[in-house]
Structure 1
Amino acid sequence: MNAPAQQGTPDRGPGPLKGIRVIDASTILAGPLCTQLLGDFGADVIKIEHPVAGDGMRGHGESKNGIPLWWKELSRNKRTIGLSLSDPEGAGLFRRMVREADVLVENFRPGTLERWGLGPDVLHALNPGLVIVRITGFGQSGPYASRAGFGTLAEAMSGFAHLTGEPDGPPTLPAFGLADTICGIAASSATTMALYHRDRDPERRGQVVDMSLIEPIMAAVGPGPTVYDQLGVVKQRHGNHSTNNAPRNTYRTSDGHWVAVSTSAQRIAERVLELVGHPEVVEEDWFATGHGRAAHADLLDELVGGWIADRTREKVITGFTEAGAAVAPVYDARDLVEDPHVRATGMLTTVEDEDFGPLLMHNVMWRMSGTPGGIRFTGRAQGADTDAVLAGELGLDPHKVAELRERKVVS
């Protein structure tokens, strides 16, 4: 069913990246998310898929009537063509496309593009201003460069899994593409930095961005290596507890819901304990710092959790809000769709889709007052724009396109 949400205007303006052409030769999340963000803010993105198998992202997530739903969002604002880069003629067409592009995003294993005659040296000889964003599990060099790299491996090696879960339980992996998502957002930032540098360079030189899946999530996990280097301390799992402050946990309400409480600021922690009827705890010496409170997390959980357990979620949130304390309900997808703040601010938006009609999806990720992004169209069918790009823009004879399609070089 189509859940209610704010009706978004598909295209609210040209966006800050209008005039930038991006070739997306990546698959399985980090690269496609990077190019989705670039497309959301005005870039002309041409999505290259394998002419027979299509893009692997089409097989990820749920489908409706055989049509993948995730694809509709992740490939929005992208024109799609089927093109075999491993075929000499396909590689030749790719080189022609690169001449007119500003950005290439790819995530093949290191050495693959070079093997096809499409390495950075070749592409920069054709287009010196091209920004080439190379996303891999472990980077383009080093002992692990040739290994298969996926987000799960980055979540494991970054320290994230080691720190996630209960103290007496196993390391825990996220139920979604966390490392890929963080990397995709980071890659979009790196891309715009490289474009900014190119446009300030008198020679308008592009560059290669070497982006690994593991480094962005390492940054998100925090300063564990620095702490180990200086103190010899290796942090361990603490469940929902924080080693930096308390109370910080999820707590169950009397009507069976869950809420999350955070007290990163000292005054917020004081308000929480005053709200739950224990102002005397605020006077304890250890309460004066986040680290001190974290050392007494079990006591604080008992006091805060007991108060919350006697009240409904609505009363808990009302009480915390009126006290100026920090609380949030633990939401599932239905809760998000129905939340008044999510609806009022347009975090989710409904756009028109050629297969499903009104389709709910995440809105553009941030708001820009002068050059807002927009959703011009949703993810398209495999090879939907092959003829328009190859015949209409590269000037290829339509009969030649038909011949290449017959040979499965294009789709």
Structure 2
Amino acid sequence: MGAMSTAGNAADIWWVGLAWTAAATVLAALLVRLLWLVQDKAVARLRAWLVLLRRKQGHAAIVSTYVDHANSGVQWVVTALSWGLIVLVIDLWASFVLQQFSWTRSWGLRSFDWLMDVLGQFFSATLGAVPGLLTALLIFGLARLVSQAQCLLLERVERGEVRLGWLDKDTAGPTRRLAQVVVWLFALAMAYPYLPGSNSEAFKGLSVLAGLMLSLGASSVVGQAMSGLSLMYSRALRVGEYVKIGDTEGTVTQVGLFATRVQTGMGEEVILPNSVVFGQPVRNFSRLVEDGQFVLHTAVTIGYTTPWRQVHAMLLEAASRTPGVAAVPAPYVIQSALSDFYVEYRLCAQGNNNAPRRRAEALSALHANVQDVFNENGVQIMSPHYLADPPAPQVVPAGPWAPQRGEALQPPAQRGQPGASVGL
């Protein structure tokens, strides 16, 4: 009877264990299903929030550039959390099921104790890291407030709404970016000791690796950045100015930290590294003139037999016919060289619109008008070269060469032919 009673009790315990196992299995399956549903709902909600944020911000660079990465990151984080909870549910289910049967109860107890020990260590470490995390968050929050305050001030300086004696609007932009970098680097240095694991060997090794990579690979980048800062704070270039850097001529559209962009009048945009710009002479055609204007000049070489006063008058006439040349200040002509066979005349004027295409068009129109005026007055734009001594000295005969108002610009009859067309 005792054996039969023991067998009956064992059978009852077996069936009770099976019943609890079935109930635990159903409950675990429901929990796993619920976790999957919560994961899908959370991902959908977060993506909808990102889309709404993108619409509110318009085409802000930080949103439009990284929205796809944010979607992927959100899905990865939520999926990792859900899988962690699923593994926890499965481990609890396995421990509970193993404890329902006598021959596996010891395994279930050890598994449950191990799980509780791991969870205890995790929550203990998390609670221990909370004060440090709160301190780091406080430091980053203060850094954000300081960064926003200086950004608001320097943006107003950049727009010309606020004037500071030691800072103008041209250097307010790079100063704002530099101040942001300094504030966040200072905040990171202050918050680093409070980050969890900052004293671990892994964290120290990662810091050494990052420093080594920066020291080996950032020399050229730092050089470019220093050149860019030198250009910005020396005010050698400003956006909108017409300049010539080496063989590149055009309007400056951007002076960045690493490169300078110049738009030519031929539909091109040239990107020059700041180290190249910093190491070459820069000719600025806009700095010393009024806003919206630029310096415009061209040169011709005419022989000595053509009166210089006549050449001056013809060049000024060509400038007055050109729509893109400003009347005030008045154009003028200088004789820049007395060469062996000709005189070099340079016409200097100012343009009306400081744009690369307008400057190219104005210079082209000026060259066309110079040719027209010289052709109308019978003077060839040619540079004679010496081959032999002429039969008579080729000099300008005496006469009233200063043209009066209303008089023609023709040379005197005794010359017989334009001096510039005579090859010596």
TM-score band, normalised by shorter chain = under 0.3
With normalisation by structure 1, the TM-score equals 0.23
Higher relative contact order (CA 8 A, sep 6+): 1
